[in-house]
Amino acid sequence: MADAPVIVWFRQDLRLADNPALAAALATGAPIVPAFILEYGDSAWALGGASRWWLHRSLDALDAALRQRGSRLVLRTGRADDALPALLHETGAGTVFWNRCYEPAAIARDTRIKAMLHEASIEAKSFNAALLHEPWTVKTQQSEPYKVFTPFWRTLRVLTKEKPLGQPPKTLPDPASWPRSDILADWSLEPAKPDWAGGLRAVWQPGEAGAQARLRAFIDTALVDYRECRDRPDRIGTSRLSPHLHFGEIGPRQIWQAIVGRTEFATNGGNEASKPIDAAAEAFLRELGWREFTHHLLYHWPELPARAWKANFDEFPWHDDAKSLAAWQRGLTGYPIVDAGMRELWQTGWMHNRVRMIVASFLIKDLLIDWRTGEKWFWDTLVDADLAQNAASWQWVAGSGADAAPYFRIFNPVLQGRKFDPDGAYVRQFVPELAHLSTAHIHAPWEAPEPVLAGAGLRLGTTYPRPIVDHKRARERALEAYQSIKAGA
């Protein structure tokens, strides 16, 4: 019928601007029913605690934005295979539009649902809102998927020309009647007893408005120094857009256009930058390229989160060390830069990227604990937990992934701390036990003379732990373990 509504099925695209599925629905002229389905299941990658908190806030923000346009967000729970047909029946809709997700389980689900809807003579179309380019469109000259980032980036850079879509109209067309909706609070996505999300609330503003504000702040205050400051956890030198990108509160095309629009980068064809701001833009856009590369890898190698990309790593002699794992998770390893990172993660749901590499190297190479253990911890505690980036990045550090760090690259946590947190400001912020320790000793408290420790109110082994492992010996042990599987590379 002429006034049959179109269902816009929101997923990881929780925004109104640059939303291809919403734009396509508006182009039909039909009433629109925006919907979100919370799927429960026993998947190993069900939403972690931090992601659930973010999702609640993001859905609330999306509903508020829709209501400002005279619309609303309809919430349902259950398998999408069941919830979507029920919603179609209740509304009389004959069309469903959505934006694609690229996780293996999501691809299988969407393929199944699209076939089911077509069988029922329901129009179902999907669009790209999450990536600069679909994973199957960026190929080598041999039409194969890329396995190395740099040539992938060169190709991606040349291909990236599409502009983002604009804002939808101030009023969205309503259906004649609204179907019932769940109440968001009833989903219990936010923690209650105990409420551990206070630190998250203090740091983050989930939602499309928060994403745009974060982008503007980055461009205005940090972009020009990005190349020099991005590795400094003691400074605000990165964009912190990753959770907004994961939940689709902002799209990569929007970010790309905003960065290029503030630089000369658009006119030099992506060649060697001639101005500081251009060099900073190049460095930052490469990070968007890495995000694309990880989704490219996950699409072509769907077992990436669970299996080593390089098969010889299946034989790696991992250690099962529950005590050391617990110390790492709690930020009690005795290595200040590692502990600061793990506590930042617990308090804010986020960790600086340089420190992510340091703590991952420590878990994998100093403790010889399986990278999948760290991957799962990050999945539960990160507000930007993203299956593609999480898996690819952990495998990169482990040396088992595509274009991975060489196995002999083992970060020294003391040297990393001294290099990237030279004044100890980051450590002092997140490891307050060490706040009064001198800068000369803050990254290696065990080297401080007893009078210095006493003056800082510090008792090693009591107020702050001694190192749970000797890094020099741990490095030698790790190299032996890597050598044991090298022959099978």
Q: What is the pLDDT of residue 158?
A: 85
Do 443 and 384 reside in the same domain of the chain?
yes
Structure-block tokens of residue 76 = 């349902």
More confident residue, 314 or 299: 299
Phi then psi dihedrals of residue 73, to 5 deg: -105, 125
Residue 200 lies in a domain: no
Residue 218 lies in a domain: yes
Q: What is the pLDDT of residue 403?
A: 79
- Which stretch of DSSP H or E encloses residue 7? strand 6-10
Mean pLDDT for the stretch of residues 463-483 = 96
Do 269 and 317 reside in the same domain of the chain?
no
User: Domain tally for the chain?
Assistant: 3
Residues annotated as catalytic (active site), given as ranges: 287, 290, 318, 353, 371, 394
- SS3 of residue 34 by DSSP: strand
Q: What is the pLDDT of residue 408?
A: 79
Do 234 and 110 reside in the same domain of the chain?
no
Do 242 and 377 reside in the same domain of the chain?
no
Q: What is the pLDDT of residue 337?
A: 98
Query: Above 50 in pLDDT, residue 322?
Result: yes
**Buried b / exposed e along 9-44 (16+ C-beta atoms within 10 A):** bbbbbbbbbbbbbbbbbbeeebbbbbbbbbbeeeee
Do 285 and 320 reside in the same domain of the chain?
no
- The C-alpha atoms of residue 215 and residue 201 are separated, in whole angstroms, by 19
Q: What percent of the chain is modeled with pLDDT above 90?
A: 87
Q: What is the pLDDT of residue 265?
A: 52
Do 331 and 478 reside in the same domain of the chain?
yes
* Lowest-pLDDT choice from 66-70, 119-123, 189-193, 445-449: 189-193
Residue 62 lies in a domain: yes
Do 124 and 149 reside in the same domain of the chain?
no
DSSP state of 70: T
Query: Above 60 in pLDDT, residue 438?
Result: yes
Mean of all residue pLDDT scores within the chain: 93
Do 136 and 108 reside in the same domain of the chain?
no
Residue 118 lies in a domain: yes
Residue 320 lies in a domain: yes
Do 356 and 427 reside in the same domain of the chain?
yes
Q: Are 296 and 138 in contact (CB under 8 A)?
A: yes
Give the pLDDT band of residue 262 (cuts 50, 70, 90).
confident
Q: Is the dihedral of CA 280, 281, 283, 287 positive or negative?
A: positive
- The C-alpha atoms of residue 42 and residue 333 are separated, in whole angstroms, by 32
Q: What is the pLDDT of residue 1?
A: 44
Closest residue by Cα to residue 336 from 197, 449, 458: 458
Tens of pLDDT, residues 277-311:
688 899 999 999 999 999 999 999 999 999 999 99
Residue 78 lies in a domain: yes
Do 149 and 124 reside in the same domain of the chain?
no
Domain boundary among 128, 155, 189: 128
Query: Above 90 in pLDDT, residue 273?
Result: no
Statement: the pTM of the whole predicted model exceeds 0.85: yes
Give the pLDDT band of residue 469 (cuts 50, 70, 90).
very high
CB-based contacts of 65-69 (< 8 A; 24+ apart in sequence) = 65/16, 65/207, 65/208, 65/209, 66/16, 66/34, 66/172, 69/16, 69/168, 69/169, 69/170, 69/171, 69/172
Say which CATH number the domain at 252 has.
Answer: 1.25.40.80
Residue 36 lies in a domain: yes
Do 424 and 340 reside in the same domain of the chain?
yes
Q: What is the pLDDT of residue 41?
A: 66
Q: Are 224 and 198 in contact (CB under 8 A)?
A: no
- The C-alpha atoms of residue 382 and residue 121 are separated, in whole angstroms, by 41
Q: What is the pLDDT of residue 274?
A: 46
Say which CATH number the domain at 463 has.
Answer: 1.10.579.10
Query: Above 60 in pLDDT, residue 257?
Result: yes
Domain boundary among 300, 329, 352: 300
| Residues in Cβ contact with 13 at an 8 Å cutoff, skipping those fewer than 6 apart | 19, 21, 99, 129, 130, 248, 251
Residue 197 lies in a domain: no
Q: What is the pLDDT of residue 148?
A: 94
- The C-alpha atoms of residue 153 and residue 157 are separated, in whole angstroms, by 6
| Residues in Cβ contact with 146 at an 8 Å cutoff, skipping those fewer than 6 apart | 138, 139, 140, 152, 155, 293, 296
Neighbours of 376 (CB within 10 A): 17
Q: Are 344 and 351 in contact (CB under 8 A)?
A: yes
Do 143 and 272 reside in the same domain of the chain?
yes
Query: Above 90 in pLDDT, residue 42?
Result: no
Say which CATH number the domain at 90 has.
Answer: 3.40.50.620
Domain boundary among 276, 300, 324: 300
Range of the domain at 316: 311-486
Closest residue by Cα to residue 97 from 198, 27, 176: 27
**What is the SS3 string spanning 129-151?**
CCCCCCCCCCCCCCCCCCCCHHH
Apex CA 258: angle with CA 257 and CA 263, to 5°?
Answer: 95
